[in-house]
Each structure stands twice: as structure tokens, then as C-alpha cells.
Structure 1
Amino acid sequence: MMSKIQSLETLGKLSRKLKAKGKIVVHCHGTFDLMHPGHIRHFEAAKALGDALVVTVTADRFVKKGIGHPVFREQLRAESIAALTCVDYVCVDPHETSEEVIGIIKPDVYAKGGDYEGKENEQGHPTAREKTLVETHGGRMHFTHDPVTFSSTALLNDHFSSLPESVRAFLDGIRARYSGDDFAALFEKIQKLRVLVIGDAILDVYHYSTFLGRSVKEEIPRVRVLGSEMFLGGSLAVANTLAGFCSAVGVAAVLGRQNPAREKQHERFIRDHLKRNVTPKFFFRDDAPTIINERFVNNEPTIVDKTTKVNMRKYFGLYHINETPISKDLEVTWAKRLKKIASGYDVVIVTDYGLGMLTDTLIKTIARFPTFLAVNTQTNSMNYGFNLITKYPRADYVSISQPEMRLALHDKHSDVEHLAEKIAKAVHAKTVAVTLGALGVLVRDKSGITSIPALSTSVVDNIGAGDAFLALSALGV
């Protein structure tokens, strides 16, 4: 059985040799996460079309069947298929799509299940691209048919789902209320929005480290730095997230000029790493550096559920920042410019990290914008107790974590629904989303209270999760 499983390179050579001998090579491709009778009948029908049946299996990292998939790892899926008598060779495809393997195997017949029939005529559909490639190499596409239709994804979701019952029920409700066309129309609408992000520009620097221990004489942890990376953070990261969904995104943020030579390098790094459809509108402070947040994090691998994961636990951090208020004259100048910039956008998203950019005057200016306004204020070690959502006189949409909401309202014990209502009234918001960590999100809007369970079953790193949620949820409100 193991001799049937070959590398893609070897499979390409075998295909050429078989075709040189006049043999007909048939190719099937897919995830095949749960072997069922439909797959077996499909492979048997495909083998009947030629002399040798080659099956390529989608690699784990490219399976896009939803949370918790694939259930079976690529090697197990390959071995299950290789165990079938009708299959001659199997390969795990190292590419994201089938297009590369088709070009290497160059099958005489490319067989797909009957549920794909008709898709080969839809412009832009993967099946249409596969058909074109197969015919380019002298082959043809064939659809196998079976009176009984099976679906690995449906079977796994129904009987082997890794999702909690609450999540499955929520997703079933969404599926019942909305069609694929509904979501396509929503994303098309979102793509046309012009969105402006306002907030502190932050450069996040990660120092990947291992813990050495503590000094005998000093209570100071010592770490060995193994490597470092810099990323766009703050409003810059939010803008890049939005750029994947909207055609036109702007970002208004503050950069420093305290050390001109160094700050030019930072500005160049920022401009180079912003996505092409993000237009930066920078404000400058001569008395401050561009904000840098350095984190020293654990980079040691751990084994969790037989899977190697990196523990990103933070040892300590450093801020490079000047948080003193800007002058009143500069504040007025920035307010006028910000008003002019915002006039060209449909949506304004404020990411307020409380690091100095958003003063009372600027907040009042933003609150008067006629555009849809989404706001998130974050509490951190620099602003604890001072950067509260209640300082905003208006927001159409508020995204806030439960601890930050309780801090803003000075209320440790009231239920979340009641506090969400109070936040809505305080800032005149139509919609308030309260993030609850592993418990998901509670949304308060004109229709009442909606609870959305957390869809993730495994958290790798929660840094930036609130920013990503703010960006995408604001577009859907």
C-alpha cells in the first residue's frame, strides 16, 4: 500500500511513462476527509475510464472546509485511498489548488463527481479553470454519477463535529436564514465602501526568546533573544485588515519626528507594509517618537494534543512613546485637517488606544462627522482607568470588551445585557457589541439582544483579536 503513495515529482514521471506506453491516465483530486461509499464508487467509475488511476489529496494546510477540518490528517487520508484496489497511485498535493498537479500529471481524463457538473461553464469557478488546463494538455474532463449523493463535510459535521452544540445551532440558524447569494451581495456592498481608520499608529516588535532564569542577586528575569520581527500595529493593522474587504481604505495616524533619521526609516517601513489600497494620511509630532511596543515573548515549542505549538506567553514589554498632550494650536490644526480628510469616506472607524493622539477636541470633532462612526477604546498599562468609551459623545457602533465596559461604568456585578444597554444610552449608539472572550460576543441593537458563540476551538494568539473584530463587525452593522 505504501508503495502507492508517491511524491508529486515521482507521480509526474510515472504518468509520462504510462502515457508513452499508450496507457490512459485518469486523475481524481479532492480532500476526501472521510472515506464513504460515494468516494469508492467515484474512484471505481474513474478507473473504468482508463488504465491507471491517480488520486491527489489536498494537504491539511489548504483544506477550507470550516473549523476543525480536516478531521483526518493528510497521511491518513492518503493511506485510506491507497488501500483501495481500484487506485494505482496517491499523492498529497503540496499546492493550494489542483491547477499545479494537473500541469504535472497531464491526465488523459480528469474525473470529478457529478455534483460539480455545470460548474465547468461558470466563468471564474475552479472547475472551469481545471477544465481549461486539462484540455490544454490534451485531456478531457469527465463527471461520474451515482444515484446516492454523499458529502464528507456534511457527514463529519453531523457526526464528528469538533464544535460545541451551541456553535452548531448558531451556524445552522445562519444557514437557514441566509443563502450564499445573500453573503455574496453583502461582501459586494462592503467592497464598495470607503472606510477611514483613525487612531494611534503603533509598530509592534516581537523579540522571540527563551527564559534563562533569575539572577541570584536580583529579582530580574533573564532571557536569550533568538530573533526579532516588526509588524504594523494599532490603526495601521486595522487598515490592512479592512483592505482585504474594501477597495478604498484610508488611515489617519500620528508618526513621530523626534529622531528624524530613525523616524524616516519607520515611516518607510510603514508605507512599504501598508496594502496598496490603503491611503495613509499622517500627522507628525516633532517632540515624540513613532510609538513602538516591544514584547519579549516565549518562543519554546510545546506539545498540545500531539501537535507542536509555540507558547507566545509574554515575559515583559517596553513602550517607546511620548504621551504628553499636544499643544492647543496643533490640536486645532489637526481637527480641521481630520474633518477635511473624513469628508471623502462613508465609514469612520476609531481605534482609540489612549496613547496620545485622540484628545478631547479631536474626539468632539469626530463625533460631529455625518458619516457612520464605529468606536473602540482599549485599556492598557499606559491608560488604565482613563481611556473610557464614555468620553465619546456619539458613536453609531461600539465594540468593547466586557472588562473595559465594566470599568467605564464602574460596575463589577451587573449582568452584561444591562450594561450594554447603559453603554448604548451613554454614547447614543445604535449597536453595541461586547466581546466575552471564550464565551463569544453579545450584541445589543434595535432588535434586542443576540448572543454569538465563539467559533474558534483553539486559540493560538489573541493579540489583535479585538482590532480584527472591530474592523470586520463595523462593516456588517
Structure 2
Amino acid sequence: MDANSRTIVSHKIKTLDELVKAIGPRPRERKVIMCHGTFDVVHPGHVRHLLYAKSKADILVASLTADRHIAKANFRPYVPEDLRAINLAALEAVDYVIVDPNPTPLANLKVIQPDYFAKGYEYVDGGLHPKTQEELAVLEGYGGEVIFTPGDIVYSSSHLIEAAPPSIGVDKLLALMDAEGLTFADLRRALDTIRGTKVHVVGDTIVDSITHCAMIGGMTKTPTMSVRFEKRSDYVGGAGIVAKHLKAAGADVTFTTVLGKDDYSEFVLKDLKAYGVRCLPIIDSTRPTTIKNAIETGGYRLLKIDTLDNRSISDKIRAQFASQISGTASDVVMFSDFRHGIFNRQTIPDLIAAIPKDALRVADSQVASRWGNILEFQGFDLITPNEREARFALGDQDSVVRPLATELHRRSSCKTLILKLGDRGILTYRGRPDGDPRAFFAVDTFTSRVVDAVGAGDALLAYASLALSATRNEVIASILGNIAAALECEIDGNEPVTPEGVAGRINFVEKLANYG
């Protein structure tokens, strides 16, 4: 839905004070009926409910549950409140729409005092629900009535969304940008402003290798697979690829890491130098450079062989790290933690203390199958865990993602949290007063086809951090980071995302927004 379409119906969307003024106090000549619900996806069941309600009064008010109070299923609401309000306002039968900031409609019922309150038949079938009893008590207190709409057909938004989520990513993006006063031109300008940002990346280097093989067969006496070696491809990964993403975006990048005294150390240094990353390696002859070698046959990963030493770095090396962090002029200091010896409970406090005072502090802790906790990076400006890492940090396997993210944002004392949700996109929480409807927002994925999702989080981390440093705007940072992640998913192998690629995807999405 474009800006003009939203303008056509925006006069129906009211604040509480505006609505009360529009309908007037009781008793009214024109009767008012109110419906309340989530209306995550407006389907035929909702339309029948609204049409029946409209037939019983002169004015129909549709009340929406605010995003922050919806926790009935994971990744819900699927449609954000601004867009849900527009969807209802576009219906001819609906006269006014209001987004209720409270967890229940009780407070608004007391203020609005509709003549009738319409409920679905499922709320009376088998006896009144306790919450409906509370609503009934409010209505009877001022002389209002509850009307139950026919219940011969029931449709579930949750079932429809889980079975086949509607493709509304562009509409959700437009609603978010419109609410924030942003345009696609602002996104393109942000790409230019990030150039030259001084970033100091501190973290674990990983050499990601793929050994490509062809299937020969299996042994007859043992369950052993036989493959023929064809070729091996090596890529600089871990914090190294984060540094390369940053450099590709136009940043001035310094990289502090620990490497072994071996051939792969030379491979890493040569690759980073060729790419223009200023590397300050600390060589530890007692450990190997970390290598993760995946054995691939016919497009399938059969086995992964890791060469690594996860022991904590020595006190001497920790002091070298701290010295390099404090001694490097930086707009952004980024801790890229893969738990291969640099970051742990003993080292993290000293490394945090060494960060220059005015630098933007960013942390990403990819724990995978190792011990690690994003909550060890307290008070950072930006953290970017995925859902699994958030659940691990909080010891919470049960909460749906919104309260999960709320708790992680609170416990980490971070200013901005970008929670990575894979093919669901991202959920961003930012430091705003509790109850502010703009305290969090979702951005759907921009991926057109997934070739290799490995490294998508690194691309998001790089572009989101640069954009946040340059613009101090969490929405711009989230959108650009999410686009970079989408582009990385479409590349086979861990290759840096370029600003030209990001700009091209921005242009593509803008065309979709303008109906091509």
C-alpha cells in the first residue's frame, strides 16, 4: 500500500481523545457499536463479524490490540499495528479505528462508552469467559449492551498465518518508514554517509573451507561412505569476514585477532591485506589458526572437520588486545565473538574497559555449539544475537519472540537489540520508554532466493553497525543490515556484500512499493 492509499483512509484512524470527540457522549442519537480484536490477517470471518456489528448500530468502531500485548503465538503479530489499522480503515463498513495501548479493552470501554460491544459467538459458547464477564460488568455499569455475532463459521488468523504466511513484507516496510518519516532516498544517502567510518573489529578469525567431493559408493562390510576429492575452497570467515564486509561498505577497518603460527595464518593475512583491511595480528605459536572444513558431496554437507583450540588467550595476549583497542582511534569498536579463546568471563571486562570513550560499542556472540553468552557484553550500543542465542542467554525455551526480546533488551542494558529470526527477518528493540509503541519493530527478509545462508548475520552486523554510527537511526540501520543479510544469503560462499548490491536491492524494493 503506497502513501496515497494510506492517506485516503487515515482520517478514520483516531486517538482515544479524537474518537470520543467524534462520536460524542451518551445518550447519542446515532448508536455506536465497538468490536475489539487483533485482526492480524483480516479474513472472511472477520468481515462477517464486522458487517453484522455494523447492522446493529449507526457507527462502527474497530479497536485493535497493540503489538506489544500480542503473545499468543511465535512471531506474532504478523502484521504490525499501523498496517492492521489501515486494513480495517479501508473497509467501508468501519467508521473509525483505534489502536488500544492497553492489554485489554476495559479502560477504553469505560471512556468511549459504546452503546453496544460486539463479541464473537465463541466467547459465549459453553459459558462466558472470565474476561468477557469483566467487559460485561463495565458495559452494564453505564447501560451498554454486549451483542454476540453469529458463530456458524469461525476462521483462525493464527492457522492461516502458520499455514501460508501472506507476503506483505513491502507493505510492512512502507508502514514503518512512513511512521518514521523515512524515504528510500534516505536509505541511499545513508549508504554514502557510512563511507570512511573508522571501525576496529576485535574477534576470532576462522578459515571456512569446503572440500568438494563426488560420490563413489559405500563399503560392503561397514557403513562407510566413499567419495572422490575434486577441489578445496578456502575463505576467511569469523570476525575476518565481518572486517571484509565493513571494508567493502567503504569503512576504514582495523582488525585485531589471534592467529597460529602456520600456513593458514599467512593465508588470512595475505587475503585481508589484498582486501585493504589493516590487520594487527597477535601470533600465538601454541595454538593453530582455527579451520572449519566442510566435506560436501552433491550439494550436501556430509561432515565438518574443525581444527581449533578454544583455550583462553594468555594474560600477555589479553594485555596486547587491550592495548590495541585503547590505542586505535575508532568511531565503532566491534566485538565479534565466536568463542575460540579471545572472549570469556575473564577477558571481556578488560577488553570492554579498553574501548575508547566516544566509540559506538557493538557486540555479536555467535555461540553455535560452544559456551558463550551475549549477556556478558553489558551496556553496548548494539547487539545482534539470533533467536537461539537469545534463548540460550536467558535460559528461556518457552516464551514467544517478543517478550523474549524485551527481556534480553532489559537484561543486557543495550541501547539497540537486533534479533535475527532467519527467514522471518529481524525484530529490533531500541531504548525508548516502556510502553512506547515505537520501542520495537519488525522488518521482513529481503531475500529472493536462499543459496547459502552462512554468513548472513555477519553482513547484517557490518552494515547495521555502520549505519547506526553514521545516522544514529535504528530503523535505517535495521533496514540496511537486513538487506545486506539477504544479499549474503544469495551468494555461494562467504563473500563480502557491496554498497552497490545494497543500493540495487533498495531500488528493487522501491519499484515493488510503487507497483513496479
**Corresponding position of 1:169:** 171
Superposition pairs of residues 351-366 of structure 1, within 5 angstroms: 351-366=336-351
TM-align CA RMSD: 2.2
Whole-Å Cα distance in 2 between the matches of residues 458 and 271 of structure 1?
A: 29
In the alignment, structure 1 residue 321 sits paired with structure 2 residue 308:
yes
SS at match of 1:403: helix
Q: Could you give the per-residue CA deviations for residues 368-420 of structure 1, whole angstroms, max 9, x where no partner exists?
A: 32221111111223x1xx11112223321110111111111111111211111
Q: Could you give the per-residue CA deviations for residues 113-144 of structure 1, whole angstroms, max 9, x where no partner exists?
A: xxxxxxxxxxxxxxxxxxxxxxxxxxxxxxxx
Residues 408 and 180 from structure 1, CA distance in 2 versus in 1: closer, same or farther, beyond 3 angstroms? closer
SS at match of 1:400: coil
Structure 1 unmatched ranges of 5 or more: 1-162, 301-310
Superposition pairs of residues 372-411 of structure 1, within 5 angstroms: 372-381=360-369, 383=370, 386-411=371-396
**Corresponding position of 1:142:** none
**Corresponding position of 1:347:** 332
Structure 2 unmatched ranges of 5 or more: 1-164, 433-437, 469-516
Whole-Å Cα distance in 2 between the matches of residues 429 and 420 of structure 1?
A: 12
SS at match of 1:165: coil
* Residues 383, 418 of structure 2: 8 Å contact kept: yes
Whole-Å Cα distance in 2 between the matches of residues 326 and 267 of structure 1?
A: 19
**Corresponding position of 2:267:** 266
Name the count of aligned residue pairs. Answer: 293
Whole-Å Cα distance in 2 between the matches of residues 439 and 326 of structure 1?
A: 37
- Richer in strand (by share): 1
Structure 2 length normalisation: TM-score? 0.53
SS at match of 1:456: coil
In the alignment, structure 1 residue 253 sits paired with structure 2 residue 257:
yes
In the alignment, structure 1 residue 233 sits paired with structure 2 residue 237:
yes
Whole-Å Cα distance in 2 between the matches of residues 407 and 393 of structure 1?
A: 16
SS at match of 2:327: helix
| Aligned structure 1 segments of 4 or more residues deviating by more than 6 angstroms | none
- Amino acid of the structure 1 residue aligned with 2:392: L
Residues 430 and 375 from structure 1, CA distance in 2 versus in 1: closer, same or farther, beyond 3 angstroms? same
Whole-Å Cα distance in 1 between the matches of residues 174 and 377 of structure 2?
A: 37
Residues 393 and 226 from structure 1, CA distance in 2 versus in 1: closer, same or farther, beyond 3 angstroms? same
**Corresponding position of 1:467:** 458
**Corresponding position of 2:318:** 331
* Residues 204, 336 of structure 2: 8 Å contact kept: yes
Q: Could you give the per-residue CA deviations for residues 30-74 of structure 1, whole angstroms, max 9, x where no partner exists?
A: xxxxxxxxxxxxxxxxxxxxxxxxxxxxxxxxxxxxxxxxxxxxx
* Residues 334, 362 of structure 2: 8 Å contact kept: yes
* Residue number among 456, 466, 472 corresponding to 2:447 in the alignment: 456
Q: CA deviation at 1:453?
A: 0.9
SS at match of 1:191: coil
Whole-Å Cα distance in 2 between the matches of residues 388 and 223 of structure 1?
A: 38
In the alignment, structure 1 residue 431 sits paired with structure 2 residue 416:
yes
SS at match of 2:316: helix
* Residues 205, 228 of structure 1: 8 Å contact kept: yes
Q: CA deviation at 1:433?
A: 1.0
Fraction of identical pairs, as percent: 23
Residues 455 and 184 from structure 1, CA distance in 2 versus in 1: closer, same or farther, beyond 3 angstroms? closer
SS at match of 2:460: helix
Whole-Å Cα distance in 2 between the matches of residues 217 and 398 of structure 1?
A: 51
**Structure with bigger RCO (C-alpha 8 Å, 6+ apart):** 2
Superposition pairs of residues 2-401 of structure 1, within 5 angstroms: 165-173=167-175, 176=178, 177-257=181-261, 259=262, 262=263, 265-273=266-274, 275-276=275-276, 278-298=277-297, 300=298, 311=299, 313-341=300-328, 344-368=329-353, 369=355, 370=357, 371-381=359-369, 383=370, 386-401=371-386
